[in-house]
Amino acid sequence: MKIFLLEDDYSLNKLIYNALSQRGFFVTAVEDGYDAMTHILNNKYDLYILDINVPGFSGHEVLAEIRKIHHDLPVIIVSAELDIDNISKAYDLGCNDYLKKPFELEELILHIKYHIKTILQSDIDKDIIDLGSGLKFHLNTQTLHKHDHEITLTQKEKLLLTLFINNINKTVTSEMIHEYVWDNKEMESVSMRSMIHKLQKKLRNGMIVNIRGVGYKLIENELK
């Protein structure tokens, strides 16, 4: 799962980044609103964490831009601004949560888990996904094991497998893969096919099927 973090306090930025990364999230962290706008206009994330008072575009402006593109993805504001006007403006612009600084990192984790469960309808506390035939994917560490032996995955393969698991029995289009795994960066179609093929070889035969001309699908009845 991909999380975007905008926080201009370097130390807090790193603390949050490390805490989330250790729990298996793929985190993009920036310290100013200019970088934030560049990333959100060119990439898709599952959840956003935004400070308000940052250099460049404010967290409010970044939030407004996110809502132009994504109406239903969770956005958590983390800010030392405690006056009701700032809080009200954040909710008016479409934030889902407002966490006041200072806060415990574990408190932020609890808020993230809540929004993943209620909005994204996923459960990150369900750590181990049983793929059958001794294959297990650990969501918290983004590792794949077969009979307790770890199968090496590249970062893109981890993102791809996570995307498939979050969309079991649903077609994952080539556009979704390009956006989620490659961050919409330029790539050749052969690169996607090559990575799909490599991931298929690390799983059981027939688990990932090609939906010709559209994309791919992880079949639930093959997860037995």
6 and 30 Cβ atoms separated by less than 8 Å = yes
Per-residue model confidence (pLDDT) at position 45: 93
**Mean model confidence pLDDT for the chain:** 90
| Residue 202 vs residue 24, higher pLDDT | 202
Decide if pLDDT at 223 tops 70: no
Percent of residues, the chain, with pLDDT higher than 90:
64
Per-residue model confidence (pLDDT) at position 10: 96
119 and 73 Cβ atoms separated by less than 8 Å = yes
The pLDDT of 136-164, averaged and rounded, is 88
The pLDDT of 99-125, averaged and rounded, is 87
| Residue 180 vs residue 124, higher pLDDT | 180
Least Cα distance to 5 among 25, 24, 22 occurs for 25
Distances (CA, A) of 91 to 97, 99, 119, 127: 8, 12, 16, 32
Per-residue model confidence (pLDDT) at position 221: 59
Pairing state of beta strands 2-6 and 47-50? Answer: parallel
Decide if pLDDT at 139 tops 80: no
Decide if pLDDT at 1 tops 90: no
Per-residue model confidence (pLDDT) at position 104: 94
Decide if pLDDT at 224 tops 60: no
Per-residue model confidence (pLDDT) at position 189: 77
> What pTM value is reported for the model?
0.75
Can you tell me the distance from the alpha carbon of 197 to that of 193, in angstroms, rounded to the nearest whole number? 6
With cut-offs at 50, 70 and 90, classify the pLDDT of residue 126.
Answer: low
